[in-house]
Chains A and B, each alone.
Chain A
Amino acid sequence: MTHANPNSVLTGTHFMNGDAACCEGLLAAGARFAAGYPITPSTEVVERFAARTPKTGGLFIQMEDELAASIAIQGMVWAGEKSFTVTSGPGFSLMMEHIGYAAMTETPCVFVDVQRGGPSTGLPTLPAQGDMMQARFGSHGDYLTIALVPDSPQECFDLAVESMNLAERFRIPVMFMMDECVGHMTEKVVIPPAEQIPVYPRRRTTKKPGEYLPFAPGEDLVPEMAHAGEGHGLFVTGLTHDDRGYPLMNPAQQHKLVNRLFDKILRAADDLVMVEEEGMEDAEAVVICYGITSRVARRGIQLAREKGHKVGLMRLKCVWPFPEKLVHGLAGRMKAIVVPELNLGQVVLEVERCAAGQCRVIRLPHAGGTVHKPADIVAAIERGMA
């Protein structure tokens, strides 16, 4: 780990919205290049980036569509830079093929999805959490991603940094799953001094051209990286490939490669449990939540506790990989788990799978457009406790 470059860190206390904070986080994490295509409610991220980059030595290019943006950033990465793109529902759908390409070619990058109501054009200016399964399974074929979900502008900064760091650590596309409410909400955001912001550097190879095998896994199954122009004669393809990067299309290699792409993340799954717990000491039921919904859940829990219900909160900052062991253990100790989310039931499917019938799992779906009412949370808790 190194630390952020002071040139691109806006240290100080700000009153800024989540989109702006996300932009600042990615800048702090070392992204100087980005590509995007305008889409509400995400555009403010790249508008700010476009304004900031001439002074931080980078560049933003507005591409002709999301397909172009999501592959242009990967060109930037193979040229040696850290890069990201930002979009919302419809654009996220268009980017899916390139999420798969990044997974297959082990191209570290961040996809920011400021979620809005869907399907299709849906509710461009209103929040939802309907892309959570898409963040996990959206591209064809088998691959794993990491998805982080912020619940405030402050976390839009903090977790944007973390997203880029995880992308670099595992050489994968990381999904940063914001939503319209968090993106457009303005709150206090504290940006620390650059030397207090840990930044994961590119895992560059020290091997010389000729000795270096671009896709030979290291100890943690992640290969070292080299860039265009360094004399390695790289070959990067989305086809199933061997350690040299050469296409090798047979079942044995497919098995070896795809399993490694899974295992490099699964092996570190315990490291990737990022949860915030509250009131769990005496809890008989727990609300498992993520993103903006967790703020409402916390308010609901306050109200439920006033009514005498012993309820705790577990907020997932990292939804993918899903904290399976943790939720399984929890289900053994709780009477009920309540899962509010701004979709008609996505992450709750994982909760149900991991709870494996040990306790009641109460779904609290919401089609989006706004957030739950705290009273909805209370009612769901009461159903679980009954």
Chain B
Amino acid sequence: MSTTVDFPIHNPVEDILRMDRIPTIWCPGCGIGTSVNSFAYALLSTGIELKKVAIVSGIGCSGRVSGYTKMDSFHVTHGRAIPFATGLKLANPELTVVVYSGDGDLTSIGGNHLIHAARRNMDLLVVCVNNMIYAMTGGQAAATTPGAAISTTTPYGSFEPELNIAHLVDAAGASFVARWTVFHVKMLEKTMKEALSKKGFRFIEVLSPCPTLYGRRNNLADGLAAMKDYKERSKIRNGAPTHETALVQGGEIVVGKFVDRERPDYLTLMRQQLGANYHPLPPQPDENPEAGVAKEDCCSC
């Protein structure tokens, strides 16, 4: 016989999670869930209407985030979360569109889209969980794997230098670039909140441990050790030039808000340039008046 106690406790993040899909697939010690927790608090604190928020993910462990969030969520093909999100945003500008995916997905197979979305200053928030490894497929080297680190495809250590994502998106023109680790939960939440309230291409890199597939081979075999490592090596440098923020193995982890610039986003620029030649949405014959929720005048911008 068991005794269950019905706790009438409501965790605020439940409002944005699909509780019927919990527990998640993430391993003990993984930081993805921690980042989602920060995101949940950040999103709730903005007051943005949740039904107007869409989450888009690609493939990978972090790509599963969209599946656990209650908002409209899209789990697309590997690397293509950003272009899908671009289409979603352009066709319904009143949506707040967040891309939540991993480093392999966003910077390697999807690297081209990352560059061009930043260049266009597409109105998206991109949260990139960087665990420095292809975890879902079993621990292969990623573009972000620090030089010399061991992975299943670099058993003698990687022969490639790692990609500094923050530097890349800064150079491509992102209007907001920040980095935290999952040790910095409150700072991360604050930065996410700030980014959610801005327009343009906003990029937040979240360093997150993968004890199972990265840490195990690189002397960080449990989540707690990784947290200690983050704590010891991190240095907050807001406004740091992004070329000074590379993440080399064992080196300093520069965190903070690096870039925050004013630049018109894609749709704003389009409307400016087209001026009176742009007819936002012409009256459509009522396609099926009984069906669905009537589309509101979408071009609020």
Contact = CB atoms under 8 A, between A and B. Distances in A.
Q: Do A and B come from one complex?
A: yes
A201 B288 contact: yes
B88 interface: yes
B274 A54 contact: yes
A100 to B, nearest CB: 8
Nearest to A247: B67
Given A64-B116, A79-B92, 12 more contacts: A5-B285, A33-B87, A61-B90, A68-B82, A68-B116, A79-B91, A206-B291, A229-B51, A231-B293, A233-B73, A235-B18, A236-B75
A238 B76 contact: yes
Interface string A237-255: 1110000001100000000
B255 to A, nearest CB: 29
Contacts of A5: 282, 284-285
B72 interface: yes
A330 B125 CA distance: 58
Complex A-B, nearest 8 residue pairs according to Cβ-Cβ distance, in ascending order? A75-B87, A204-B292, A79-B91, A72-B87, A68-B83, A75-B88, A79-B92, A237-B75
Given A76-B91, A205-B292, A228 B54 contact: yes
A3 interface: yes
B199 interface: no
A239 to B, nearest CB: 7
B292 A59 contact: no
A16 interface: no
9 contacts: A61-B87, A64-B115, A72-B86, A75-B74, A75-B86, A101-B76, A201-B287, A206-B292, A228-B74
Interface string B53-66: 01010000000001
Interface in B162-206: none
A2 B75 contact: no
Is chain A's binding surface mostly helix, strand, loop or mixed?
mixed
Given A235-B18, A238-B75, A35 B67 contact: no
A80 B92 contact: yes
B75 A64 contact: no
Given A57-B280, A71-B76, A76-B90, A229 B52 contact: yes
Contact of A74 (B71, B87, B274): B87
A121 interface: no
Contacts of A68: 80, 82-83, 86, 112-113, 116
A230 interface: yes
A54 B92 contact: no
Contact of B95 (A59, A65, A79, A236): A79
B10 interface: no
A77 B88 CA distance: 8
Contacts of A59: 90-91, 270
Contacts of A61: 86-87, 90
A35 B112 CA distance: 16
Contacts, number: 172
A33 B91 contact: yes
A379 interface: no
A232 interface: yes
A73 interface: yes
B229 interface: no
Contact of A76 (B82, B88, B293): B88
Nearest to B109: A67
A230 B51 contact: yes
B70 A233 contact: yes
Nearest to B299: A57
Nearest to B20: A246
A242 to B, nearest CB: 11
Interface in A17-53: 33, 35
A54 B270 CA distance: 10
Contacts of B73: 233-236
Contacts of A238: 75-77
Interface of B: 18, 21, 51-52, 54, 56, 66-67, 70-77, 79-80, 82-92, 94-95, 112-113, 115-116, 270, 274, 277-285, 287-288, 290-293, 295
Contact of A71 (B83, B279, B295): B83
Contacts of B113: 64, 68
Which of A35, A228, A246: most chain B CB closer than 10 A?
Answer: A228
A329 to B, nearest CB: 38
B87 A35 contact: yes
A78 B282 contact: no
A294 interface: no
Contacts of B66: 235
Contacts of B95: 79, 228-229
A77 B91 CA distance: 8
B72 A97 contact: no
Contact of A63 (B18, B51, B83, B291): B83
Contacts of B86: 61, 63, 68, 72, 75
Given A97-B77, A226-B292, A232-B72, A75 B84 contact: yes
A125 interface: no
Contacts of A232: 72
A59 B269 CA distance: 13
A259 interface: no
Nearest to B283: A7
B279 A228 contact: no
Contacts of B85: 75
A238 B54 CA distance: 17
A79 B82 CA distance: 15
